[in-house]
Structure 1
Amino acid sequence: MPASVGLNVDMKSSPLTIGDVADHFGLPAHVLRHWESVGLLSPARVTGGRRRYTRDDLFRVASILRAKQAGLPLPDIRAFLAARDPAARKDVLRRNQRALHERIVALRSALDVVEAGLNCAHDDISTCPTYRAHLADLVEVGGSD
């Protein structure tokens, strides 16, 4: 998560604007507005309806970002953050845990292929036995003939 703006502000006396928070996390402000519209954020409002974010709001934005990185859809993130019952919160996380593990396995496999390609000295990578070994699970079509 980028932190391009130092937020060394006394959050009790100087709540942050939507622009401050967006800059801090490297997000466009419209993303924060969208998250608010779907019930993920609820910053305080001051005169003129301007949003003001507290330190708690920053932790909530950070939670949303990490959950998105883990592949959770916004409705599940909302359910996770809104759950007051630990069992309900864990149910949401368990539903997403398997998909995250599957993504990790797929990314590790993809990294293995990239590294095999980087370590290959063959002129034609498609004929390299080491490289091919990393692709074998995708090539196998069924039982032996």
Structure 2
Amino acid sequence: MRISTAAGVIGVPAHVLRHWEDEGVLTPDRSGANQRDYTEQHVHEARIIHRLRQAGVGLPAIRQLRSAGGTARPVLLSAAADRLSAEADRTAAAAAFLRHTVECRHPILEECRECRAYATSGEPSRERLCAG
């Protein structure tokens, strides 16, 4: 299938597929007229790449995964999963802090121990010190 059709099936713009090809993470076949020809396998691979990109996995890591074999692949996947888990924890802490600041009764955030704890450590205080 042509690049525009493949892009529509995958849910990305065609220029993204070209970029992935330039970066060496997706290699479609070429027709006699040197046009990209995406098979069902290429579409499947592109969907996986798209999901990994949505999860924040960079193209260099995806390129490593494609060429990794044996024990290297699980190590790379575990490292990517660990990074995503850490990012999810940071995002959850930031969301908790923002929810707290909506209810915080202190006029200046520095006056609130919970706000100060988050600013210092990036983690909301474990104990609820501000009555809101």
What do residues 52-102 of structure 1 show as CA deviations (whole Å, max 9, x unaligned)? 2122212211211222233322121012123342x1211212332332221
The correspondence for 2:77, drawn from 84, 93, 103, is 93
State how far apart, in whole Å, the 2-side matches of 1:25 and 1:125 are.
48
- Structure 1: which 5+ residue stretches go unaligned? 1-15, 141-145
Q: 2 CA distance for matches of 1:26 and 1:128?
A: 48
2:34 counterpart of 1:49: yes
Q: How many residues align?
A: 121
* TM-score with structure 2 setting the length: 0.72
Using the alignment, how far apart are the partners of 2:107 and 2:91 within structure 1? 24
CA contact (8 A) 2:10 2:43 kept: no
Call closer, same or farther: CA 1:94–1:123 in 2, change over 3 Å. Answer: closer
Q: Which amino acid aligns with 1:113?
A: F
Structure 1 pair 135–63 and aligned structure 2 pair: CA distance change class (3 A): farther
In structure 1, the residue matched to 2:58 is 73
| Aligned partner (choices 137, 142, 145) of residue 118 of structure 2 | 137
Using the aligned pairs only, state the percent identity. Answer: 31
Give the equivalent residue in structure 2 for 1:143. Answer: none
Instruction: Report whether the alignment pairs 1:106 with 2:90.
Output: yes
Distance verdict in 2 for CA 1:124–1:34, change over 3 Å: same
1:42 is displaced (CA, Å) by 1.3
CA distance in 1 between counterparts of 2:40 and 2:111 reads: 54
Q: 1:121 to 1:110 in 2, by over 3 A?
A: closer
TM-score (ref. length: structure 1) = 0.67
CA distance in 2 between counterparts of 1:54 and 1:117 reads 51
RMSD: 2.7
